[in-house]
Amino acid sequence: MAFKVVTDSCCNLPEVIINELDLTVFPLIFMVDDQQHQSYLKGQVTDLQQFYTQMRDGKVFTTSLPNLDDAKKELEAIFAAGEDVLYLGFSSALSGTFQAIELMGNELVKEYPGRNFVAIDTLAASLGEGLLVYYAAKMQQDGKSLDQTAQWVRDNLLHMCHWFTVDDLMFLYRGGRVSRTAAFAGSLLNIKPVLHVDDEGRLIPVEKTRGRKKSIQHLFDHLKETHLSPLSDQVLAISHGDCFDDALTLKEMIEKEYGPQEFIINYVDPVIGAHSGPGTLALFFLGSHR
């Protein structure tokens, strides 16, 4: 039975891949200066650099769930076309998006006898979520069934490693991830924390490093320690908060050690970026454990 892979804008996949994989993407909302924006606009390549410039200038961003009326219409159109849905959502530990879409989908599918709606909490964020969506959509295109694809995601989601660092702890403080004291002390001492997303889908500080160069090295070190071999059998992903040069530096470190790999590199969207800030750098890959 035909099915469609559906996700949300926190997957941070580039528009070219979204189109190539024929994904349906529910855009989360962010607000600045009392103006509301969608974090993803179908068919439009948004200049995300401007949003990070605003953040650096002191603009405060707030975020919210996707427009549920719009999401309902998208799901109805898929069911009406005779297709099932595999929904892969942003970590429920970081947003209420997954729960809202899961509840709505489970109710809506009752109106379409014979249709199936499967929702999986990826417990992932940014291109960690994006890579799970990418692999699932590739399986769908290769003719795998909904059940086969969903089972692969369930089997592998806790192998999707997220390692990231931030440039300014104050954004994590505003999001409640670090204390005010730690944020001020870190800024004074040039502390760059290394964090990951744990098995419950939460952002967890793991290490403190002094300086940007060392924090990037730690991201690479975690790849070396836990990646599933051979590395060439998987796609690596790097997302960044308007620090493309640092993303290229990390990519080149990996290529120097392991040779050319397949990479997806893209911005952290404004919804996640509002909490992690400019200068966020994140590496995603399949590993032995998160």
Q: ∠ CA(210), CA(212), CA(217), 5° rounding? A: 90
Report the pLDDT value the prediction gives residue 185, as an integer from 0 to 100. Answer: 54
At 72, list the tokens. 């309902």
- pLDDT at 196 (0 to 100): 94
Taking 90 as the threshold, does the pLDDT of residue 158 lie above it? yes
Q: Tell me what pLDDT residue 106 has.
A: 98
First vs last Cα of the chain: how many Å apart?
33
pLDDT at site 175: 61
d(CA 209, CA 189): 10
CA 61 – CA 35 distance, rounded (Å): 10
Closest CA to 169 of 198, 196, 203, 192: 192
For a pLDDT cut of 90, what percent of the chain falls above it? 79
Assess if CATH 3.30.1180.10 describes domain 159-286.
Answer: yes
Q: What are the distances in angstroms from CA 92 to CA 122, 140, 172, 229, 285?
A: 8, 24, 18, 29, 20
**What average pLDDT does the segment 268-289 reach?**
95
Calculate the alpha carbon distances from 173 to 57, 94, 154, 181 in Å: 17, 15, 32, 9
In the chain, domain spans: 3-157, 159-286
pLDDT at residue 120 in the model: 98
pTM for this prediction: 0.94
Domain 3-157, classified CATH 3.40.50.10170, yes or no: yes
Burial class (CB in 10 A: 0-12, 13-18, 19+), 261: middle
Q: How confident is the model at residue 176 (pLDDT cuts 50, 70, 90)?
A: low
What does the pLDDT read at residue 182?
A: 56
Per DSSP, the three-state class of 223 is helix
When mean pLDDT is compared across 49-58, 104-113, 149-158, 177-186, the lowest value belongs to 177-186
Mean pLDDT of the chain: 92
